[in-house]
Amino acid sequence: MADLNVRVEGRAGRITLTRPRALNAMTYDMCMAIDTILHLWREEEQVALVVINAEGDKAFCAGGDIAELYDTGTKGDFAYGRNFWRDEYRMNAMLADFPKPVVSLMQGFTMGGGVGIGCHGSHRIVDDSSRIAMPECGIGLVPDVGGSYLLARAPGHLGTYLGITAARMDAGDAIHAGFADHYVPRDRWADLTELLEASGDVSHVSRLAQSPPAGAMAPHLDAIDRLFKAPALSGILADLRSDGSAFSQGALKTMSRNSPLSMACAVETIQRLRRDGPAMRAALDLEFRFTWRAMEHGDFLEGIRAAIIDKDRNPRWQFADLDVPDSAVERMLAPLGADALTFQD
């Protein structure tokens, strides 16, 4: 298909995203094509490993292509979005459980849906240009595509901070937070890919990897652990407001632009996963409970209107006073019964 270049080169299954002008945003068709080829390559003896990369310098994948989601949702058709998320999450789970090494080369922006295809493989590579983030709360969603699983596994309370502020991680931050594994300078990526194709031996990744530069978040990690430790959004806001530091005030300003309902649900999702022991499929199940309801009961359509359609950057969020009742969180994360996410092929 036009948006993907899928082929086998030597011992490597190759998936290249080819929408650089759209920052390689993930469409439904791209998602399903990746799902299909991964099913085939699981059983293909010639394919010893999978390499996922993208054209262009600006982005590996800056998120999902949400125009169709908005168009259908505003017409009262919630089924399209629910099917999209259901199939995307199944593909994310397959990547996380894939029986062969999966190498991702993530330059530039890797956000939202890009995290779902780039950050669940076995060998996740970043460079100096890499900027990884989960910005979903800014458009009325929660960190999804398995992002909540990664956030729940991040050290300290860094995951909660990343999930509700959408802070961008550089290479060092991403490795520290568990969104990436290896720092390889960009000028070595072509050499590495050739070695992987010729040998099918994923150990070439660690041989070419270098120590990453210190992450920009490193000076703030103690403050993050202190200010984002509360188990609910209300407690985090109280701690930030009482702190008075430049860091806390900056975090509050960023959070003021996000959906309060989404942030409250993101904190609760991360808390549940941390309490129960983070598991990818449990994370996807919780995420799907929210996204299944996001158009009808959440802020998603309003978030897209303000950010993408009208571009007024003035969303009319529910609970704009940041006082989100527990009942609203419980409703968004309640089990879906017969509509629950399943992972059968």
Instruction: Give catalytic residues, as residue numbers.
Output: 64, 113, 136, 144
- DSSP annotation of 139: G
Which contiguous run of DSSP H or E holds residue 194? helix 189-199
Q: Where are the alpha helices (DSSP H) in 55-138?
A: 67-74, 79-96, 113-118
Structure tokens belonging to residue 89: 């999450």
What's the CA gap between 102 and 118, in Å, rounded? 9
CB of 61 closer than 8 Å to CB of 26: yes
Do the bridges between strand 12-17 and strand 4-9 make them parallel or antiparallel, or are there none, so unpaired? antiparallel
Q: Which of 267, 271, 270 is nearest to 258 (CA)?
A: 267
- Render 68-88 in DSSP notation, one character per residue: HHHHHHHTT--HHHHHHHHHH
What's the CA gap between 256 and 100, in Å, rounded? 42
- DSSP annotation of 307: I
Q: Provide φ and ψ at 104, rounded to 5°.
A: -120, 135
Residues facing residue 8 across a β-bridge = 13
CB of 100 closer than 8 Å to CB of 47: yes
CB of 174 closer than 8 Å to CB of 168: no
